Structures are given as C-alpha cells and as structure tokens.
Amino acid sequence: MTTDIESLWVFALASKCRAFTQENFACSLLIMFLAWLAMALFYWVHSGGPAWGKYRFKRGSSFGTAKSIPGPRGLPVIGSMHVMMSLAHHRIAAVAEACKAKRLMAFSLGDTRVIVTCNPDVAKEILSSSVFADRPVKESAYSLMFNRAIGFAPYGVYWRTLRRIAATHFFCPKQIKGAEIQRRVIASQMVTVFGEQKQGCFCVREVLKRASLSNMMCSVFGREYELNSLNNEVKQLRELVDEGYELLGTLNWTDHLPWLADFDPQKIRFRCSKLVPKVNRFVSRIIAEHRAQNSQNNLDFVDVLLCLQGSDRLSDSDMIAVLWEMIFRGTDTVAVLIEWILARMVLHPDVQSRVHDELDKVVGRSRAVSESDIGELNYLTAVIKEVLRLHPPGPLLSWARLAITDTTIDGYHVPEGTTAMVNMWAISRDPQVWMDPLEFMPGRFVAKEGEVEFSVLGSDLRLAPFGSGRRVCPGKNLGMTTVSFWVASLLQEYEWLAFDEKSVDLSEVLRLSCEMANPLTVKVRPRRNMET
C-alpha cells in the first residue's frame, strides 16, 4: 500500500513534463505491473508460499542459514487460501502428508504466515510455549467485541484478569456443582420432549441446541425457560448466537489480504455492524434488570460481574463482551458433541447396549441418573472420549495461536507474528499414534487394572480436544460434566435407533465447530417405562 502511494509522486512529477504522453503512461503502468508480477512470483517460489517468501526477502541476510519449513507454495499472492475453504482439517492433513511435513508445515494465507502440525510432540511444543499465548487478529472477532472477552483478548493483564475471574466464579467446581439442579431440570425436559415426538422419527439437533442455550442462559443470565416454550427472548438470543456463529466461522479474506479490506467483499464487517447493536441492547437490558434487583446472592454470572470491586471491575461494554462470549461458546460445542455421540450410539448398537448394561448396573431402572453416578460410568466416559477422538468439535482447536516473539519449533525458526495451528483431528486419526484409528473402539479408553485413566483435558496431546497450555478451554470441566450427564440421562431413558439406512451420515461440515453435515434423525424406544 505504502509503495503505491509513494509511487504516485513520480506520476505527479512526470505529468509536468512534455515527455508524459498517453503511451508513456501506459508503458509505465505495464512496467509497474510486470515489476509487481515479478515480485509476486519471486515471493511465491519460496517453500510455504508468498507470505513466507516476502518475510525471507524482507529479513534478507538476517534470516541467515535457517532452514525453511517445508510446505506448499499455493498460488501467487493468495497462497493456500483454498485449503481453508471447506473441511480445512481434511485438506491440511492431506497437504501435510503430500509434503511429508506432518511434524511441521508452513503455508501462506495471503499475507499471513501459518505453521501447522499434525504431530502430538510438536503440538505440545507449540501449545505449552508462552510464545504462542496470543490469538491472531480476526476482524469479525474484533467487530463482535470478542477482543474484550477471554477468547480473543490479547495475551496480557486484561486477559489474565478475565481468566482469573471466570475460573474463580464461573468454572470452579463449586459453581459447576451448584448448577447441577438446572442441568437435571433441563435433562428431564429433554427426555419429555424426545418422548413426545409422535411422528416416529425426528431430528435431535434443534432440541439439543435449545437445551444447551437454556443451560447457558440460566448460568450466565439467571434466566429459566421451559424447553418447549416458544419464548421470545430465547428466540431472539438464538438468532444473535447463530448469526455471530456464522460470522466468526467464515474465512474472512480481508484478514489475510489487507488490500481487500476497504471492499468488505463478503459483507462480514457490514453484518457485524448490524449484529453488535442488537447484542448490546439485549445484554444491556439484562444487566440493567440485575442492577435494579440488586441481588447479593451471586446467583449467576451477571451478578458476579456486577459485584467485582477495584481493578477487577469491568466497564459495561466489557461486561457485555464477556457475558456474550460465555453464552456463545458454551451453547454450541456441547450440542454438537452430544449429536455426534448419539449418532455413534445409533451406528454401533453393540456399544449402546454395553452402555445400557452399565447404566442398569450402576443406576438401575427405578430412578433417573444423577451426576454423582457419572464417576462410576467408566464405559460411558470411554465412549465420550472415543467420540471426542473421532469427532473433535474443534478439529483445528477452534482458534489459532499467534507467535508473540521469534522462536524455534521442532528445530525450525518461526518468526514473530506467525499463526500456529494444531490439527487435532489428524493427530487423533494417525495410525502412528492410535491403533486402528478409524475404528470406533471405546474400549481403548477403559483403563485396565493399575493403569491411569487417559485424560482428554490437555495433558496428553495425542487427544486434547479442549486445547492445552495457557489458552486451554476454561469450560472443559463444565463441558464434560454437562455432556456426560445429559448423554447418561438420554441413554438411561431411551434406546436410540436408526430410522432408515440414511439416518446416520457421518459427513462433516466445518463451521466454528465441526458438525454433522446432515442432522441426525432417529427413533427412540423408552427403556425405563418398559420395566414399570
């Protein structure tokens, strides 16, 4: 951009001269275009594509003899943007395999330098390094205020304060336990709604999303709604979440090609500017109602934020960002994961029947499951882990990381400002990491006598669906508790059956999370009523 503006004075000066004819002008334009093309091709020939070439050219000799990270060149100027367009985790894995760069691969998204790993050891190196504690700038995230919430706040004092507040007052074991009643109420509403499906077969997704949103609205805003009531506030929030979800999940070309920014070709900035005032109005009204009630009991997250004192106190706009993010993050991930689990249960009746046997043994059929039973439901926990392995909701760990300073990863020099991704989907399907990786075998997660149970919470990078290190998902325990309890309740009450042979299609679609491309359609057969 600067070069273009700087070159204008040449034309201004030349226009004063007699030699400046139309032909000369056209000739100059042609020369400039050829120079630009030559430069673009020069950047492009480097391993990893144009963004890496530009960096090496600019750093010149200071880059020294550092060896290049292997990777595809992609196309001139745009690099490998096509890789990110649909099912990016599949495409990245295929390209890494083809480039023999599974440990570490470099590629370019326009002007953005990216590294990606499909290897657990290198993933650990990246995620546990303090150098990668930041997130790359994403215009939609900034427009939607997420830079003032935990997920996209730059690494620093503000982000640390938010994580501490959330860890102490929202994600702590006491708070999670305190919300057990609300999860139980919603679980029993789900059971009722599924039982009332008269048409024989039905789609589970809508109910799971409503349940998940209801749960978050209760924890965050203190609002309780009947699952099958058509409440206007729920409908409104659902629309806001869906729109934000689509905006954040879309690959925004202007994030990587800054010269496109003025044009907003995908209308992302425009749509964000329409959405934000609606979110502000919605959340501000709820904050105002809490202020008017002046609750001292710290029942929900709004109360908690309003009670903060001193340097922890947040401005209203920051509070809106934090509350909106909690609703946003907590709703979708849980619903997406439960749909995958139910799909696998329908597809593998033998596994489902083992879960039923375990439920009968631990809980029996005379009462509903309670959260205290979950610790004894080892096979069910193994089933959830196996589904997380084959269908991680964030196959590329949702949001990438950004290098704050120059560093070395797997022996390669990685410059400051490089975006780093971990392809968790590829790691958890790698035959060198997992035996028979494409087989659905929950038994692999049942600890044998004397063995330590496999933790999916970020300590073992062979399967870390919640990420790892400083930016690990703070909602991992809440997420696992909710998913385990709701799945146990749904399986305790019903046998989940295929409607026809197309009932379960494991094709994926990658939005912000990786969902089933074709929503799961099932039939259910009550289990507990059969006994009574």
Q: Is 481 in the site for ligand HEM (CB under 6 A)?
A: no
- With binding defined as CB under 6 A, does residue 136 bind ligand HEM? no
The only residue of 385, 467, 496, 504 in contact with ligand HEM, by rule CB under 6 A: 467
CB-CB neighbours of 224 under 10 Å: 11
User: Interface with ligand HEM includes 120 (CB under 6 A)?
Assistant: no
For ligand HEM, the nearest residue by Cβ is: 467
Phi-psi group of 138: left, alpha or beta (phi > 0 → left; psi -120 to 50 → alpha; rest → beta): beta
User: Which residues make Cβ contacts (< 8 Å) with residue 484, sequence separation at least 6?
Assistant: 374, 377, 380, 381, 384
Alpha-carbon distances of 327 from 22, 76, 319, 321, rounded to whole Å: 60, 40, 13, 10
Quote the DSSP letter at residue 134. Answer: B
Would you give the binding string for ligand HEM spanning residues 285-324, x where CB under 6 A is met?
Answer: ----------------------------------------
**Closest C-alpha among 164, 161, 178, 162 to residue 222:** 178
Strand order in the sheet with 494-498: 202-203, 521-526, 494-498
User: Judged by CB under 6 A, which stretch of 181-189, 200-208, 297-305, 468-476 contacts ligand HEM?
Assistant: 468-476
Q: Which amino acid would we find at residue 7?
A: S
Question: Using CB under 6 A, which of the segments 43-51, 70-78, 407-415, 466-474 binds ligand HEM?
Answer: 466-474
| Closest CB 472 distance from ligand HEM, rounded Å | 5
Subset of residues 148 to 167 that bind ligand HEM, contact rule: CB under 6 A: 150-151, 163
Angle at Cα 517 formed by Cα 332 and Cα 85, nearest 5°?
Answer: 90
Q: How many residues bind ligand HEM (CB under 6 A)?
A: 28
Minimum distance of ligand HEM from residue 179's CB (angstroms) = 11
- From 120, 222, 393, 395, residue interacting with ligand HEM (rule: CB under 6 A): 393
Q: Is the dihedral of CA 397, 214, 373, 355 positive or negative?
A: negative
Residue (68 or 182) nearer to ligand HEM, CB: 182
d(CA 328, CA 244): 8
- Among positions 117, 129, 423, 468, the unique one binding ligand HEM when judged by CB under 6 A: 468
C-alpha 208/C-alpha 337 separation (Å) is 10
173: tokens are 């074991």
Q: Pick the binder of ligand HEM from 394, 421, 491, 504 (CB under 6 A).
A: 394
Closest to ligand HEM by CB, 37 or 167: 167
Q: Whole-number minimum distance, CB 128 to ligand HEM, in Å?
A: 10
Query: Under the criterion CB under 6 A, does residue 334 sit at the interface with ligand HEM?
Result: yes
Residues between 436 and 465 with contacts to ligand HEM, criterion CB under 6 A: 465
Segment interacting with ligand HEM, rule: CB under 6 A, options 30-38, 232-240, 330-338, 346-354: 330-338
Taking CB under 6 A as the criterion, the residue among 252, 333, 381, 423 binding ligand HEM is 333
> Least distance (Å) from ligand HEM to the CB of residue 336?
8
**Closest CB to ligand HEM among 163 and 238?**
163
What span, in angstroms and rounded, lies between the C-alpha atoms of 210 and 430? 35
Closest approach of ligand HEM to the CB of residue 132, in Å: 9
**How do beta strands 419-422 and 401-402 pair?**
antiparallel
- Rounded Cα distance between 411 and 405, Å, is 16
Strands (E), 433-512: 494-498, 508-510
Q: Which is nearer to ligand HEM, 213 or 363 (CB)?
A: 213
From the list 58-66, 276-284, 397-405, 437-445, the region that binds ligand HEM by CB under 6 A is 397-405
Using CB under 6 A, which of the segments 139-147, 333-341, 378-386, 446-454 binds ligand HEM? 333-341
Q: Is 402 in the site for ligand HEM (CB under 6 A)?
A: no
Least CB distance to ligand HEM at residue 410 (A): 18
φ/ψ bin of 414: left (φ > 0), alpha (ψ from -120 to 50), beta (otherwise): beta
Q: Name residue 65's amino acid.
A: T
Comparing CB distances to ligand HEM, the nearer of 53 and 330 is 330
H/E stretch holding 342: helix 316-347
Of 426, 519, 334, the C-alpha closest to 103 is 426
Of the residues 466, 485, 486, 496, which one makes contact with ligand HEM according to CB under 6 A: 466
- As a whole number of angstroms, the distance between CA 490 and CA 186 comes to 11
Rounded distance between C-alpha atoms, residue 217 and residue 220, angstroms: 5
Q: Which span sits near ligand HEM by CB under 6 A: 97-105, 299-307, 442-450, 470-478?
A: 470-478
Report DSSP state, residue 108. Answer: E
Among 491, 500, 283, residue whose Cα is nearest residue 387: 491
Q: Can residue 379 be called a binding residue for ligand HEM (CB under 6 A)?
A: no
Does residue 398 touch ligand HEM according to CB under 6 A? yes
SS3 of 508, please?
A: strand
Inter-residue contact 400 to 529 (CB < 8 Å): no
Does residue 244 bind ligand HEM (CB under 6 A)?
no
Distance CA(227)–CA(207), nearest Å, equals 8
- Candidate residues 103, 385, 471, 523; the one interacting with ligand HEM per rule CB under 6 A: 471
Counting contacts by CB under 6 A, is residue 474 touching ligand HEM? yes
Give the nearest distance from C-beta 469 to ligand HEM in angstroms: 6
Told to check if 326 binds ligand HEM by CB under 6 A, we report: yes
Per-residue DSSP letters for 259-298? GGGGG-TT-HHHHHHHHHHHHHHHHHHHHHHHHHHT--S-
For binding to ligand HEM (CB under 6 A), which residues are involved? 127, 150-151, 163, 325-326, 329-330, 333-334, 337, 393-394, 397-399, 465-468, 471-475, 478-479, 483
